[in-house]
Amino acid sequence: MINAKIIGLGGYVPEKVYDNAYMESIVDTSDEWIVRRTGVKERHISADNEYTTDMATIAGRKAIENAGLTPEDIDLIILATVTPDYFTPSCACVVQRNLGAVNAAAFDYNAACSGFVAGLIIAKQFIQTGTYKNILIVCADVLSKATDYEDRATCVLFGDAAGAAVVSASEETGIMTTDMGADGTGAMSITSLAYRNDEEEIEKRVAHRKDTVWMAGQAVMKFAVKAMADASQKVIDKAGLTWDDIALVIPHQANYRIVDSAIKRMGITEDKVFLTLEKYGNTSASCIPVAFNEAVEAGRIKKGDKVVLVGFGGGLTWGAALLEW
Ligand code: UT7
């Protein structure tokens, strides 16, 4: 069996920062509330003329360079976003053009914040069937452009970022076990509207704007804690390992309280968890690859380490992957 292994990572966050003092100046909130209830201190915000494909191209290029490959080596680009530049063309095709990845097929997919883990699972299938050798996964979102800055329950959470990984056919152990699921009964717990004319959804939004993200925060929190703990346990069980074998967990970075409750349920302590939440907030699917890249750069992950990546998000969806670095 051919293994699928991450051989390169790249991340990008825009320069502009909204700190908690700025959030205090635009909505009725406080640094104390935001830190205590979410753990977020700063979020990076794309420039007015900076969009998903711009950030995705930068992160994608970094991941390819980090892998020691060239854009021509890439056979497939898959891109996860909930804030595409266009419905068509796909962001993946724009990134393919920008990178000059002339040999790559390209498509977008949407698993919301579970996008990176879903991407690893998609890539693993193509590699293990021998279809492709080098796959670029890019997760990128300009959530700030879909945020209602009159809604204090959501605007303090979101930021913009892009993260990318090259997954390649390898003789070394890479992605070991995975788990992925969905619960469509919770579909309307996190919404961002498109063509469907849904007055009820528009009414829910503080600014009654169709183009913003809305969520039922408490319900999502409850779902997230169980989904992340269960999915992580499943990938460890499938590999016949225990938590003692795991060097690091990189969870979706949505809210510190979610992470804290989930790791208590997993029975692990925070020293096994890598967080970027304080600096970037929730950037959707890019949270995990951006944090993964920083963890490697910071020397928190060493060759041979076993790492659990676990996400949850709109859909509702969840996914986990256990890999050897
Ligand atoms: O990746 C996508 C997945 N999304 C998530 O993971 C989000 C999950 N949910 C959450 O992170 C939390 O539910 C929130 C951070 C959104 C909200 O925290 P909470 O502890 O669930 O607060 P709550 O919704 O129960 O609200 C408690 C109070 C309310 O005031 P009242 O009704 O008690 O007077 C809110 O209006 O806190 C108020 N509140 C705020 N107060 C100050 C909500 N947002 C804020 C705010 N500043 N920014």
pLDDT attached to residue 134: 98
The question of whether 282 is a catalytic residue gets the answer yes
CB crowding 265-282: b at 16 or more within 10 Å, else e:
ebebeeeebbbbbebbbb
For residue 209, name the pLDDT band (cuts at 50, 70, 90): confident
For residue 207, name the pLDDT band (cuts at 50, 70, 90): confident
From the CA of 212, how far away is ligand 1's center (Å)?
A: 17
Picking from 230, 231, 225, the residue whose alpha carbon sits closest to that of residue 319 is: 231
Per-residue pLDDT reduced to its tens digit, 167-206: 999 999 999 999 999 999 999 999 999 999 899 999 999 9
Is any ligand 1 atom within 6 A of the Cβ of residue 258?
A: yes
- pLDDT higher than 90, residue 247: yes
pLDDT attached to residue 1: 78
Q: Which of 221, 277, 316 most suits a substitution to test ligand 1, by most atoms within 8 Å of the C-beta?
A: 221
Q: Which of 37, 188, 260, 282 most suits a substitution to test ligand 1, by most atoms within 8 Å of the C-beta?
A: 37
For residue 99, give the amino acid letter.
Answer: L
pLDDT attached to residue 322: 98
From the CA of 85, how far away is ligand 1's center (Å)?
A: 29
Picking from 139, 188, 194, the residue whose alpha carbon sits closest to that of residue 165 is: 139
pLDDT attached to residue 22: 98
Q: What is the pTM of this model?
A: 0.96
For residue 190, give the amino acid letter.
Answer: I
The DSSP element (H or E) to which 32 belongs, if any, is: helix 31-37
What span, in angstroms and rounded, lies between the C-alpha atoms of 155 and 222?
20
Q: How many CB atoms lie within 10 A of CB 203?
A: 8
pLDDT attached to residue 266: 94
Positive or negative: CA dihedral 114, 117, 122, 125: negative
Locate the ligand 1 atom nearest the alpha carbon of residue 314 and give its number.
2
Is any ligand 1 atom within 6 A of the Cβ of residue 219?
A: no
Q: Catalytic residue, from 113, 139, 155, 287: name it.
A: 113
Give the residue whose CA is nearest to atom 35 of ligand 1. Answer: 153
Is any ligand 1 atom within 6 A of the Cβ of residue 149?
A: no
Is any ligand 1 atom within 6 A of the Cβ of residue 37?
A: yes
- pLDDT higher than 90, residue 84: yes
DSSP three-state, residue 142 = strand
pLDDT attached to residue 128: 96
The question of whether 113 is a catalytic residue gets the answer yes
What span, in angstroms and rounded, lies between the C-alpha atoms of 118 and 161?
18
Locate the ligand 1 atom nearest the alpha carbon of residue 153 and give its number.
44
Per-residue pLDDT reduced to its tens digit, 2-49: 999 999 999 999 999 999 999 999 999 999 999 999 999 999 999 999
pLDDT, mean of residues 121-128: 98
What span, in angstroms and rounded, lies between the C-alpha atoms of 84 and 251?
24
pLDDT attached to residue 197: 87
- pLDDT higher than 90, residue 210: no
pLDDT, mean of residues 234-255: 97
pLDDT, mean of residues 203-212: 90
Picking from 194, 180, 244, 187, the residue whose alpha carbon sits closest to that of residue 84 is: 194
Which residues, 6 or more positions from 195, have their beta carbon under 8 angstroms from its beta carbon? none
From the CA of 153, how far away is ligand 1's center (Å)?
A: 5
- Percent residues over pLDDT 90 in the chain: 98
Is any ligand 1 atom within 6 A of the Cβ of residue 224?
A: yes
- Percent residues over pLDDT 70 in the chain: 100
Give the residue whose CA is nearest to atom 16 of ligand 1. Answer: 217
Going edge to edge, which strands form the sheet with 76-80?
3-12, 160-170, 134-142, 76-80, 105-109
Per-residue pLDDT reduced to its tens digit, 272-321: 999 999 999 999 999 999 999 999 999 999 999 999 999 999 999 999 99
Is any ligand 1 atom within 6 A of the Cβ of residue 33?
A: yes
What span, in angstroms and rounded, lies between the C-alpha atoms of 261 and 242?
19
Mean pLDDT of the chain: 97
Which residues, 6 or more positions from 60, have their beta carbon under 8 angstroms from its beta carbon? 10, 77, 95, 99, 136, 138, 162, 164
pLDDT, mean of residues 83-108: 98
